[in-house]
Amino acid sequence: LGLLYQEYRDKSTRQEIETRRLQDSQTDPEESSPSEETPSEVEPTSTTENKAPPQISLLRNSNSRFNLWQDLPEIQSSGVLSILQPDEIKLQEAMFELVTSEASYYKSLNLLVSHFMENERLKKILHQSEAHILFSNVLDVMAVSKRFLLDLEQRVEENIVISDVCDIVYQHTVNHFSVYITYVSNQTYQERAYKQLLQDKPAFREVISQLELDPKCKGLSFSSFLILPFQRITRLKLLVQNILKKVEEKSDRETTALDAHKELETVVKACNEGVRKMSRTEQMISIQKKLEFKIKSVPIISHSRWLLKQGELQQMNGPKTSRTLRTKKLFREIYLFLFNDLLVICRQIPGDKYQVFDSAPRGLLRVEELEDQGQSLANVFILRLLENADDREASYMLKASSQSEMKRWMISLAPNRRTKFVSFTSRLVDCPQIQCVHPYMAQQPDELSLELADVLNILDKTDDGWIFGERLHDQERGWFPSSMGEEILNPKIRAQNLKECFRVHKSDDSQRRKLGSRNRQ
């Protein structure tokens, strides 16, 4: 394959964005909907070509080798395209993309190993322990990818019409993909070691820069190669979802796709948990050292506790007057640490310390917004502790710096509270949706990192440019800037997105219902 995986993935997701844009612009998506397997039909028109880099020229350029299944000479000459139904052709394309993207991924992994890891100059500069942290078990990951790719290629060669690939995905996920958890769990150490080496070893920095300039790398950075395994295991789950959306319902292929998706979901969750674990532990230790308790001490560090949000708010004191008749300040600064199961309320004291004067379990928090109360009470909300550190009910009137900050605190403090567009406990037939057209890296714990072509339900939005969304493919929720996406305006496209989402996760839903039934019993 002519493309490195980073290029392949970028082109594929941008094509997905452009296809969805064209579908969204149509009055009736059922009529002449752009076929994802016919390049001439999804070529950008003059009205959309300025919205995103063109992708179609890549597909039409045979030199790029970014081919569709139906473009293969063997398929063209076989006459099979005149026999297969359009839905089956779409399914063939979805399965073929999984195979070709794995080939591109393996090529990029091979370059990471042969061009960087095995470079003699780099070997002399790096201590064995440094090399181990930097490259982790990438050789195991590459061996797993090679074995996986060989099985996929063998299946493709059995028949020009691909029978299935999800059974192969399932077998490899169950038996071999644990190597991804090991690699991804090392990511925090890896990033830290890389930054430290760039800072402390000029020779390392020089060699990496020279290797990156090699035409083989096509202008891609060393770090973009290091992150490949995490990107691939996440993308693989999405590719299986894409197949699942296209297979016939209640068929054997649907069963294998659901099984493969479930196993991939388990691996991806374990990867995410591995990444978070170390950084969370370090963060909790750091917070514990900063807290001084004015009330009865609460143990902060726990293996099941992590930080959701922290920051300063203004607490309203009320219009009190001192004996000298000087009015006291209406608001006073307080500092909140919100964990997944606990709220700690503090005041900042000298020495970068925080004095804790109240706390409550997160499940015993309630919030209420104050509306139309004038400028002095703008962005003010009431926080109620149903049972605080003194075992009594307490209320705080708190002011945030902006509307988005107020809403972010309210949703974090009381996550089951109804949002602007949808209740978490209900599933609406339609609600606002947005697709990501610019990747975003979360800056705060309550934010959501976005990848190109992610589709999200909009649960809430603010006037100052923030959206609270739920990503359809994994139900992860968080805040992100509204400038990162484009709203999907066509209600039929939104309904189709939701229908596909429910289908992908129906096995999860049935499992949850079974668990709920057992719990009630």
3-state secondary structure (DSSP) of residue 175: helix
Which pLDDT belongs to residue 424? 44
Which pLDDT belongs to residue 43? 34
Query: 391: which residues sit within 8 A by CB, 6+ positions away?
Result: none
Half-sphere exposure of 406 (CA within 13 A, CB side): 24
| Tokens matching residue 357 | 């004067």
How far apart are the C-alpha atoms of 233 and 230, rounded to whole Å? 6
Query: 361: which residues sit within 8 A by CB, 6+ positions away?
Result: 341, 342, 343, 387
Going through 217-269 in order, the beta strands assigned E by DSSP cover none
- What's the CATH class of domain 294-320+328-413? mainly beta
Query: Which ranges of the chain have pLDDT less than 70?
Result: 1, 27-66, 318-329, 372-376, 417-420, 422-430, 506-521
- What's the CATH class of domain 58-286? mainly alpha
Which pLDDT belongs to residue 27? 59
Which pLDDT belongs to residue 248? 93
pTM of the complete model beyond 0.85: no
Using H for helix, E for strand and C for coil, what is the string for 473-488?
A: CCCCEEEEEHHHEEEE
Which pLDDT belongs to residue 296? 87
Q: How big is the chain by its Cα radius of gyration, in Å?
A: 26
Which pLDDT belongs to residue 81? 92
| Tokens matching residue 364 | 């015993």
| Tokens matching residue 275 | 């990444």
The residues of the chain that CATH labels 2.30.29.30 are 294-320+328-413
- The topology under which CATH files domain 424-516 is SH3 type barrels. (2.30.30)
How far apart are the C-alpha atoms of 464 and 403, rounded to whole Å? 7
Which pLDDT belongs to residue 39? 35
Query: 435: which residues sit within 8 A by CB, 6+ positions away?
Result: 17, 20, 453, 454, 455, 456, 485, 486, 488
